[in-house]
Amino acid sequence: MMQLVNTTTGALVAGQVRRADRFVSRLVGLLGRRRLRPGEALWLEPCAAVHTAFMLFAIDVAFVDRDGVVLAVAERLRPWRAVGPHRGAFACVELEPGALARAGVAVGHRLALMEVRAATGFFTGRRPSV
C-alpha cells in the first residue's frame, strides 16, 4: 500500500494511493469512477497536465517535480476542464475535492509517496522505485 505525505508539514495527504505509471493506467486514470473516497488518490507519472473530460466529479490536483516539490495546485477542478502543462512537472496527484487544503499542501512543499507495511501501518522508510 502507498501513502502520500507532505514532508514539509508531516501531514498525511492520502492514505490509499494508486500509482498510474504505464500508458494504459494513465490513459484510464479516474474515468468510470463516480468519486474518490476521502483519503484516496491517484499518482500519475510522468504527468505535466491533466484534463477532466468525461469525468463525473471535481478533483484536487498537485503537480510535483522529480524531488516531490509542489510546483502548482488546482483545487476543485470541475469536469470538462484542463490544467497545465507545468514546466518541470514530473508527476501529479489527483485527490478528492478539498484534500489539498485539509492537508495544508502549498506550492513549495515537498510530497513523498511512501510504501507502508500492511500489517503494521508503519512506513518502510523508503520511496518506491520509479
Residue 80 is predicted with a pLDDT of: 96
Question: In the predicted model, what is the mean pLDDT of residues 53-73?
Answer: 97
Residue 116 is predicted with a pLDDT of: 83
Q: pLDDT by residue (tens digit) across 39-53?
A: 999 999 999 999 999
Do 2 and 83 form a contact (C-beta atoms < 8 A)?
Answer: no
Q: pLDDT by residue (tens digit) across 18-28?
A: 999 998 888 88
Domains assigned to the chain? 2-115 (2.60.120.1140)
Q: pLDDT by residue (tens digit) across 76-103?
A: 999 999 999 999 999 999 999 999 999 9
> pTM value?
0.87
Do 113 and 128 form a contact (C-beta atoms < 8 A)?
Answer: yes
Strand segments, DSSP code E, in the chain are 2-6, 11-14, 16-20, 40-44, 50-51, 59-64, 70-77, 82-83, 91-95, 111-115
Q: Tell me the three state secondary structure of residue 76.
A: strand
pLDDT band at 126 (very low <50, low <70, confident <90, very high): low
Residue 130 is predicted with a pLDDT of: 42
Q: Average pLDDT of the chain?
A: 90
The set of cell numbers assigned to 126 is 523508503
